[in-house]
A = this chain, B = another copy of it.
Amino acid sequence: MSLQPQEPRFRQLAGILRAAIEAGEYPPGAAVPTAADLGQQYGVSEATANNALAVLRREGLVTSRHGAGTFVRLLPVIHRRAPGRFARSARESGQNRGAFDGEIRHLGMVPSVITHVSREIPPADAAEVLDLAEGQQCLVRRRKMYANDQPVQFAPSYIPLDIAGGTQLEQEDTGPGGTIARMRDLGHAQVRITESVRARRATAEESAFLQLESDQPVIEILHIGWTKDDRAVEVGVWAVPASGWVLDYGWPLD
C-alpha cells in the first residue's frame, strides 16, 4: 500500500491506523506496529511513522510505554452526569462518591477514590473565587479517582478555613452526604452550583497523576458551590484527560 502526496504522509498514516483501531483490528490493550515496522510497510521513514503515532497519542487513542511498545487505550469513554450527581438522592448513597461509582460500574469497571486532606495556599484562580487574601491558607481535599486502578480524574477542592477548620471536613471521610451535607450542617448550605468547562494543557501535577504523555490536553471543570448569599464556599479545579470523558448537562426550559 502506498500513500498519496496530497495530504502529509504522517497524517495519512495516522488516518489508516485510526481506522484500523476503530474497526477493531487492534483491540483495546493490543500493541500497534512499531514505528520501524510501519515505516517498512508503508515506505516512509521511521521518523515519519513515529510522527503518525504521535498524532494518535495526542488524541488519546493509543499510549506508548517507553521501550515496550505502543498500545491501544484500554479505558472506554466515561460519561459524567453533572446536575444529577449533586442531588440529595445521589449524595446519600455514600459520601458523594455515589455518582462516580455508578458511572464507572456502569462501564463494568471498578471505581476507587483516594482522598488526601491538607492545608495549603490555593492556586490564584481558586483563591480569587473564594475571596481569600494573597498567601492565605485554606483546606484542600485532593481526590484522586481511578477506574480499574487507572487514574481518570484529579479533583482537588478548596474550602475556606473559617468554615472547615477543625470540622469533619478535615477528615478524609466526611460521612454520609459528603462535603455538601457537612457544610449544610455547619450553616453553609450550598444552594447553587456553577461549572466552567474548558480545555487546556495539563499542569505538572495533573500530568504526573493522569499519566499524560506528549501534549495531551485536559478538560478542566471549575466547580463552584454558592450559598444563598452568593458566597463561594467550595471551589474545585478538577481535571480529566480531554479524550476520555463526556460531560452531560441538562436543565428545564421555561
Contact = CB atoms under 8 A, between A and B. Distances in A.
Contact of A55 (B82, B87, B192, B215): B215
Interface residues of A, number: 39
Interface string A106-121: 0000000000000000
A143 to B, nearest CB: 19
A71 to B, nearest CB: 20
Please state the number of chain copies in the assembly.
2
A55 B214 CA distance: 10
Interface string A77-93: 10100110011100000
A193 B83 CA distance: 12
24 contacts: A55-B215, A59-B201, A59-B215, A59-B217, A79-B196, A83-B251, A86-B253, A87-B254, A180-B253, A190-B253, A191-B252, A191-B253, A192-B253, A193-B251, A193-B252, A195-B249, A197-B219, A198-B245, A199-B199, A199-B242, A199-B243, A217-B217, A217-B242, A249-B249
Interface of A: 55, 58-59, 77, 79, 82-83, 86-88, 180, 190-201, 215, 217, 219, 225, 242-243, 245-254
